[in-house]
Amino acid sequence: MSTSRSVGKIIVGMPTSDGAGVRLRRIVGRPISLLDPIIMVDEFKSDDAKDFAAGFPDRGFEAVTYMLAGFMEHRDNNGNHTTISEGDIQIMTAGRGIIHSEMPSSDSTGLLWGFQIWFNLPRSCKMMDPRYIPIKAAAVPLVIDQIRGSRTKVIMGEFNGHTGPALGVVANPQWLDVELPSGASFHTSIPSLYTAFVYVYKGVGNFGPLTNQKVLKESQLGILDCASGENSVEAYSPEGCRFLLVVGAPINETIARHGPFVMNSQAEINQAFYDFETGRF
C-alpha cells in the first residue's frame, strides 16, 4: 500500500560563503543524521565572477553538480579541464584527495545558476581514487506525465522506467528535477527507510498527503518524514513550481568534518590536513 510522506521539517536556505569564499545559498551544511548520506546542499546563483574561487582541496565524499544556467569551468590537479552549461551534470569523487576549482567560464557572462550536493562515502571508500565525470544535458531523460501534468528530469537513479545518466556514485541516490505547471501534480514511490527531501527553487508547491499538506516556497527545503514507514512522495502546485527531490540510503557511520574534509574520525581529519599541506593530494 502506498502512503505519502509528510514534510517533517522545513529548512530555509541562507546566503553564506564557503571556506574558499564562494558566495551561495546553503540549504544543508553540517552532518545532520536526518539527511544521511547527504552532507551538504548548495544553490549557487550569481552573475558576479568574484563570487567564486579557485583552487581548494576535498577528501572523503562525492560532489554532484547540476547546472540550470550559465557556463562553469572545472579544473583539477588530475588534469581534467571541462566546461559545463545549462542542464549538464558533473560528478567529482574527492576520495583520497583532489584539488579543484569551479569558476565561471572565462569567455561567458551572465547568470551562473545551479546546485551542488555532497554525498558521503562509506568508510570503506573514503580513500578511493579521485575521478571526474562530465555529463551533457542531452543524456538526461525527460519524463512527461500526461495525466498529472508533471515534467521530470532524471539526474540520478530511476524514475518511471528511466535511469539518470549520473551513474556510479557510491551512495546510489535518486535525484529528480520536477516541474509542475499550474494545476499539475506529482507522485513517485520511494523506499520507506531512505532519507528524502524536496527543495523548491521556483514557485510554490504543496507536499504530503491531502490530510497533512505543507506549503513550500522558493528557497525552502522540506525533509520528508518516514517515521511510520511512508513510501511515496506527493506534490501539487496550484500556481506552478520547480523542485528537486533527492533520496538516499543512510550510511549510518560516524562523521568527522572540517571544511572540505569529510572522514570518520578527528585523527583522519588531521591526516587529511597533513597530506594536503605536504603535497600528497
Domains assigned to the chain = 7-267 (2.60.120.10)
Confidence at residue 31, expressed as pLDDT on a 0 to 100 scale: 40
What is the value of pTM for the model shown?
A: 0.93
Residue range 69-96, pLDDT digits in tens: 999 999 999 999 999 999 999 999 999 9
The residue-averaged pLDDT of 228-232 equals 84
3-state secondary structure the chain: CCCECCEEEEEECEEEECCCCCEEEEEECCCCHHHCCEEEEEEEEECCHHHCCCCEEEECEEEEEEEEECCEEEEECCCCEEEECCCCEEEEECCCCEEEEEEECCCCCCCEEEEEEEEECCHHHCCCCCEEEEECHHHCCEEECCCCCCEEEEEECEECCEECCCCCCCCCCEEEEEEECCCEEEEEECCCCCEEEEEEEEEEEEECCHHHCEEEECCEEEEECCCCCCCEEEEEECCCEEEEEEEECCCCCCCEEECCEEECCHHHHHHHHHHHHCCCC
pLDDT band at 230 (very low <50, low <70, confident <90, very high): confident
Residue range 201-218, pLDDT digits in tens: 999 999 999 999 999 999
